[in-house]
Structure 1
Amino acid sequence: MAHSLFSIIPGSSEPIYRQLVDQVRRLVAGGQLAPGAALPSVREVAQQLTVNPMTVSKAYGLLELEGVLDRRRGVGMVVADRVAGADAMVDAADRAALLRPTLERAAREARELELDPATALALFTLILKESP
């Protein structure tokens, strides 16, 4: 379950815990993780992604402090029933803001590859239209 839920970019300038935090936020905002949904255990995620369990624990802890996740005895971490700012998260602008770090990385790579903006945008548009 953890492998299909999370993915990391090991060489990224963004710390692994931050990648996990951003992914959970996006999954909750996009409705892929519903209130009450259980997340995989710290150990499961750490094993699947081959990262230190403390890294996963840090990400989960930050999400708990933000009110995105709740710790439930006997179950582990679950999506909070009422995510702090849930009404605002539904707003398209807020969902778009969650995409920004990913697009910034893609833009940096496009510049490194010396792709012109029109080519990069055309590729992004094509990918958006493809079936998941």
Structure 2
Amino acid sequence: MPASFDASKPIYRQLATQIYWRILREEWKPGEKLPSVRDTAVQFGVNPNTVSRTYNEMERDGVVETKRGQGTFVTENKEVLLELRENLKQEQISQFTKEMKEMGFSTEDILSGVERYLKEEEND
């Protein structure tokens, strides 16, 4: 099923983020081969050139490794994966807090709301 993308951001970056989330959820484990460029393009409903650019960016980030003639694999470097996890967490927190402050919520309002939400989640 093709993914929906935000027109205000480059598709290759959004695609990389979606793949990073899958890696962090261990849908693709360290050392595991990623789907081919063509298969990923079909899965996400994008041009194969976009996927190729995405894989190249991910390789520059050190999250994947391309082995000539074999394909693209998730790195086995745990430090890189931990750094990726932390970076994505900080991006999400930054985006969330920025939007909440734009809506007029104070730091205290945000913290109390998050605490209340997490407590309710624990009780479900």
Q: TM-score, normalised by structure 1?
A: 0.60
Q: 1:75 to 1:99 in 2, by over 3 A?
A: same
Equivalent residue number for residue 64 of structure 1: 59
Structure 2 CA distance for aligned equivalents of residues 123 and 73 of structure 1:
49
Structure 2: give runs of 5+ residues left out of the alignment: none
Name the aligned partner's letter for residue 10 of structure 1: D
Mapping 1:1-132, distance limit 5 Å:
9-11=5-7, 13-25=8-20, 27-28=22-23, 30=24, 32=26, 33-72=28-67, 76-80=71-75, 82-83=76-77, 86-87=78-79, 89-90=81-82, 95-125=85-115, 126=117, 130=121
Aligned equivalents of 2:82, 2:44: Cα separation in 1: 29
Alpha-carbon distance between aligned partners in 1 of 2:95 and 2:79, rounded to the nearest angstrom: 28
Distance 1:77 1:111, change over 3 A: same
**Closer, same or farther: CA 102–128 of 1 in aligned 2, 3 Å:** farther
Identity of aligned residues (%): 31
2:41–2:48: 8 Å Cα contact kept in structure 1?
Answer: yes
Are residues 24 and 108 of structure 1, via their aligned partners in 2, closer, same or farther at CA, if it must alter by over 3 Å?
same
Change (3 A) 1:115 1:62: same
CA distance in 2, matches of 1:72, 1:98: 26
What amino acid sits opposite 2:79 in the alignment?
D
Q: Superposition RMSD on alpha carbons, in Å?
A: 3.6
Q: Is the 8 A contact 2:63 2:81 kept in 1?
A: no
Aligned residue for 1:67, secondary structure, equals coil
TM-score under structure 2 length normalisation: 0.62
Give the residue type in structure 1 aligned to 2:34: L
Number of residue equivalences: 120
Q: The residue matched to 1:70 in structure 2 has which SS?
A: strand
How far off is 1:55 after superposition? 2.0
